[in-house]
Amino acid sequence: MLLKLNSIILYTILAFGLALILYPVYIRLLKRLKAGKLLRETAVGGGIAEIFQRLHGHKAGTPTMGGGMFLIIMLLMVWLSFALREFGVINNDLWAREETYIILFGFFGMGIWGLIDDYLNIRWIGKGRGLPAKLKLAGMVWLAAWVSYWFFVKLGVSTVNLWPLLPNTFIEIGIRYPILTFFLTLAITNAINITDGLDGLAGGKMVIILGILAIVTFSYGWYLATTVIGILAGVLIAFLWFNINPAKVFMGDSWALALGGIISSLLYLLNLREWFFVPFMILFLLFWIELFSSALQIFRKRVFKRKLFSIAPFHHWLEHKGQKEYTIVMRFWIIQGVLASVTLILVFYQLYQ
């Protein structure tokens, strides 16, 4: 186990070091490509985004597509693991059917689709800048459907464990399982994307979430999955160095979609042999609040022609109410830390009861 832990730590440190070195170069490249952020012109519930423009107009032009570095470094780490295995330094590379096939597919599949959208957006390609909304959604739907298909058909998973709500009980839900995972994948991905609206907000919370997922997978002996998580966390910590207020670079859709793909896949992978649905819902609570605040705003606007909030999602509403951006971010980080602690208590209570 100690050797496995050493390997995970080395991959994480290497990914962090590479990202810290490469991000300044990458940011300069993005500036040369004029890959500046284009502020949204329409509000979540429809109409002109006047409040958003007033709150964040000064950020226009800041380089985006920062999530592309996640894809680059993860690809380098996978190739490195192949090379190390060929030279007999390690026994297993990072491309393993049992643990990493599906999570890496979710990561690269969703991430590349988001990167295409980011590129088209900053190059002003397409009628609405970027992928057409229906085409973008169609791509996400196809990728989410493939993840659901893999678990239901390839791995034969059709049960969920709802501990601690229903202790030691796997509930057979049959064909409803891929339907559940399909919509959950889309919900997780969109929740991350929606939350990424303040400097360092989503990134800081995701570092905490990835840390918990690393502890859980390591506790269950899924060391290759833990290594992949460690690489992501290392890159994300380096990214935060350049993303905290005032941000020098933004993630873009590439990171939100990539993380949505890999986190949802990890959730289903953990459910395959263990329980994690209920603890994950607690761990992800702040992201659910952001998602539902936007969903409720859209519903109220379209059905009743009136806004529920002055602006959505929730973090922008707090900002509009007078809270400083860095104050909101720090408080959300603290709350995420508390949620992570509760999740960790549940994990170890289950492991050692």
* Residue 104, H or E segment: helix 101-122
pLDDT the model gives residue 132: 83
Q: What gap in Å lies between CA 94 and CA 101, rounded to an integer?
A: 9
Could you report the per-residue pLDDT of 94-138, keeping only the tens digit for each? 988 778 999 999 999 999 999 998 888 877 665 656 788 889 899
Q: How far is CA 81 from CA 3, 95, 205, 256, in A?
A: 15, 8, 28, 25
Average pLDDT over residues 141-165: 91
What is the distance of C-alpha 284 from the center of its chain?
A: 11
Percent of the chain with pLDDT over 90: 61
Residue keyed to tokens 């980080």: 333
pLDDT the model gives residue 37: 63
Choice between 255 and 211, residue whose per-residue pLDDT is larger: 211
The C-alpha angle with vertex 138 and arms to 35 and 193, in degrees rounded to 5, equals: 50
Q: What gap in Å lies between CA 353 and CA 347, rounded to an integer?
A: 10
Given a cut of 70, is residue 170 above it in pLDDT? yes
pLDDT the model gives residue 54: 65
Q: How far is CA 285 from CA 8, 160, 193, 263, in A?
A: 28, 19, 15, 14
